[in-house]
Amino acid sequence: MINNNEKILVIGASTGGTEALKDVLSQLPEHCPGIVITQHMPEGFTKSFASRLDGLCKVRVKEAEPGDKVLAGHAYLAPGHSHLLLKRNGNGYICELSSADPVNRHRPSVDVLFKSAAKTAGKNAIGIILTGMGKDGALGMKEMHDAGAHTFAQDEKSCVVFGMPKEAISQGGVDEIVSLKEIASRVMSYLGNPVK
């Protein structure tokens, strides 16, 4: 059994991602590791989206705020106006927000989150890249993979747009290519804690 206190799920998504995130998060059990998410979304929509997910999932979902402790069974969604980064706090993690320039034309950017997870969590991170246009997240996922993280990409068939997962795969940063319906169960199986 892997120690879930140190483990963290790091998810990036864009076009089609709101439904994909709902699919993945609603299948995760309340005892899963903490989750940090960047979904490309305009400012003003992320809070209500997090609240909607919170009502549908066993895990608690909220819009990330600076200094939020990343707790098991909780998910933190990047607000539409800021990059979300992961920082160390003792033997756990906290959320940090940044209003730095957009990356790959996005703020929040998946690359910013993934790169911070590579640096902060290394082999304790599990990276998941979902449907989306463009290449945001591909280089960050490669950095996570190179730092020892286990990484998943949504397969082409279940994506609305296969841009971001395809780029991540072509960069060599993906360990497993999985259909949307199987991501949650594959993640929990990898953690040695299969979903019943």
Catalytic residue numbers read 14, 40, 136
Torsion on CA atoms 141, 123, 79, 105, rounded to nearest 10: -20
Q: How many CB atoms lie within 10 A of CB 58?
A: 13
Residue 88 tokens read as 């160390």
What lies within 8 Å, CB to CB, of 16 at 6+ separation is 130, 131, 132, 159, 160, 161
What is Dmax (Cα atoms) for the chain?
A: 43
Residues 6+ apart with CB under 8 A from 164: 12, 13, 14, 110, 129, 130, 131, 132, 133, 134, 135, 136, 137, 138
